[in-house]
Structure 1
Amino acid sequence: MGKPKFYDFCVHAIPDGDNTVEQLAALARHFRYSGIALANHSDKLPQSRPLITSPEGFEIFRGIELVEENPSKLHGLIGKYRKSVDVLIVHGGSEAVNRAALENPRVDILNHPAFDKSSGLNQVLAKAAAENDVAIGLTLRPFLHSRGSRRIRMLSDLRANLDLARKYDVSLVLSSDAMSCFDLRSPMETLALAEVCGLEEDEALEAISTAPEKILSRNSPGPGYIREGVEVLEEGDYF
């Protein structure tokens, strides 16, 4: 077997984050990622995207992280964006939003399922994730930017979600959730941090290589799958 390919499937560029696509892609390639998914929040999409030349041997995928607290409206957004992106993520939180995402097979990843003092997941939702092949996203930025009791609570929630994912064989996707270049971590650093958070080495490896590749395989060939560069995307391309 060849060397695994590593992917960061949740990276936020201007205007959602602080850096341009070019800056994020260049640093991710320097860290030896094979590709990234640009997943700006749905309320912070660029008006247009300029033509970008992808670094050689590196892939940039079109993604989005949907933000909507109303489950009915969320289903509408999923239908609106599904065909125009390679990676469709839902920003979770409440049990109602988590349920809407995990029961919809058109969703690829549910990020941030924790909300307040609850993990946001339970056995019913974990079973729905497995049945609909929706991955649970494990994002490093919130953990790295937290301290004290908040970090302890986040670790507790994460480990509870891990237990459910293992029990019901739910896929995990590990990403930086980077809002700037300073949030990006190399694959080796990401794997080490994941193990600190409770993942086994093989689980962490699968979460940044095999699981993302599975999503790409399921959704490709699609309109946003990019090998040699990033095409010009106008605002209308998201509809």
Structure 2
Amino acid sequence: MGKPKFYDFCVHAAPDGDNTIEELASLARHFGYSGIALANHSDKLPDKKPPLPSIEGFEVFRGIELVEENPSKLHGLIGKFRNSTDVLIVHGGSEAVNRAALENSRVDILNHPAFDRSSGLNQVLAKAAAENGVAIGITLRPLLHSRGSRRIRMLSDLKANLELARKYEFSLVLCSDAMSCFDLRSPMETLAFAEVCGLEEDEAFDAISTVPENILKKNRPGPGYVREGIEVLEGGDIF
């Protein structure tokens, strides 16, 4: 069995964050990641699509975190960006936005589902996440930067979402949600922090390794891919 690969699928570079994608990628590689996704918020995109850095033994994926309160407009943004991104994230919050994201199989991850004093998820939304293959993001930056009653509430929301994930078997993704290099944490630190927050060891590992790899496989099919369930094998046979 080879060395596990770890990914951080939500980092924000300038102009959304404080550092360049080159700086974030260099530090993430130093920490031991195999790849990260540049996922700037859709309302803070640069004027021109930035080139992704090429680093030996490390990959930078093109992503986006969609920010839109109107569900109809959100579906339009999903259609606009889906084919040009490796990782498509929706910034959740309201029940309407959460529902729109979780009922759309073209979405990879829903981040920040909590809104007001609720976990943002319920049994109906959890079932939709499982049926449509949309993962729920566990973002470290808000937890690390919160204190007192706010952190207690966030941990309570996380616990509620974990219970739903175990019952309805939807996927979880651990990501830094980094706005600067200071927000990045190594894979081992991330795993340890996740376990402190209530994830089991295997859940935390899957959320930073297996689930991101599955998202890449879904969005980056091999050369023989035609469409889901159909593949061209060597020799031209179609299965």
Q: TM-score, normalised by structure 1?
A: 0.91
Q: Partner of 1:206 in structure 2?
A: 206
- CA–CA separation in structure 1 for the residues paired with 2:144 and 2:206: 21
Partner of 1:139: 139
SS of 1:48's partner is coil
The 1:120/1:48 distance shift into structure 2, 3 A limit, reads same
Deviations 1:174-194 (A, max 9, x none): 000000000000000000110
Aligned to 2:123: 123
Letter aligned with residue 23 of structure 2: Q
1:194 correspondence with 2:194 = yes
The amino acid across from 1:206 in the alignment is D
CA distance in 2, matches of 1:148, 1:205: 28
Cα displacement (A) at 1:211: 0.2
Distance in 2, Cα, partners of 1:104 & 1:19: 32
Counterpart contact for 1:29–1:58, Cα < 8 Å? yes
Structure ranking higher on relative contact order (CA contacts 8 Å, 6+ apart): 1
**Which residue matches 1:13?**
13
One-letter amino acid of the structure 1 residue matched with residue 195 of structure 2? E
Where in structure 2 are the equivalents of 1:63-78 lying within 5 Å?
63-78=63-78
Q: C-alpha displacement at 1:141, in angstroms?
A: 0.1
Aligned AA (1:183)? D
Structure 2: gaps spanning 5 or more residues: 223-239
> Which structure is larger by alpha-carbon Rg, 1 or 2?
2
Residue in 2 that maps onto 1:153: 153
Q: Would you say the 8 A contact 2:12–2:38 is kept in 1?
A: yes
User: Aligned partners of 1:161, 1:205: CA distance in 2, in Å?
Assistant: 17
SS of residue paired to 1:202: helix
Contact 2:53 2:60 in 1 (8 A): no
Q: Does 1:30 align with 2:30?
A: yes
Moved over 6 A (4+): none
In the alignment, the residues of structure 2 paired with residue 210 and residue 95 of structure 1 have an alpha-carbon distance, to the nearest angstrom, of 28
Partner of 1:170: 170
- How many residues end up aligned between the 2 structures? 222
Shift of 1:49: 4.1
Residue 182 of structure 1 is matched in structure 2 by 182
Give the AA of the match of 2:59. Answer: E
CA distance in 2, matches of 1:19, 1:166: 36
* SS state at 2:44 partner: coil
- Equivalent residue letter for 2:120: G
Identity across aligned pairs (percent)?
85
Q: Which residue identity is paired with 1:108? A: D
1:225 aligns with none
Task: Report the RMSD for the aligned CA atoms in angstroms.
Answer: 1.0
Deviations 1:49-87 (CA, angstroms, capped at 9, x unpaired): 454542210000000000001111101110110001000
* Unpaired runs of at least 5, structure 1: 223-239
Q: In the alignment, is the contact (CA less than 8 A) between 2:133 and 2:171 conserved in 1?
A: yes
CA pair 113-53 structure 1, distance change in 2 beyond 3 A: closer
Is the 8 Å Cα contact of residues 139 and 177 (structure 2) preserved in structure 1?
yes
Q: Quote the Cα distance in structure 2 between the aligned partners of 1:11 and 1:161.
A: 22
Q: Distance in 2 between matches of 1:52 and 1:63?
A: 11
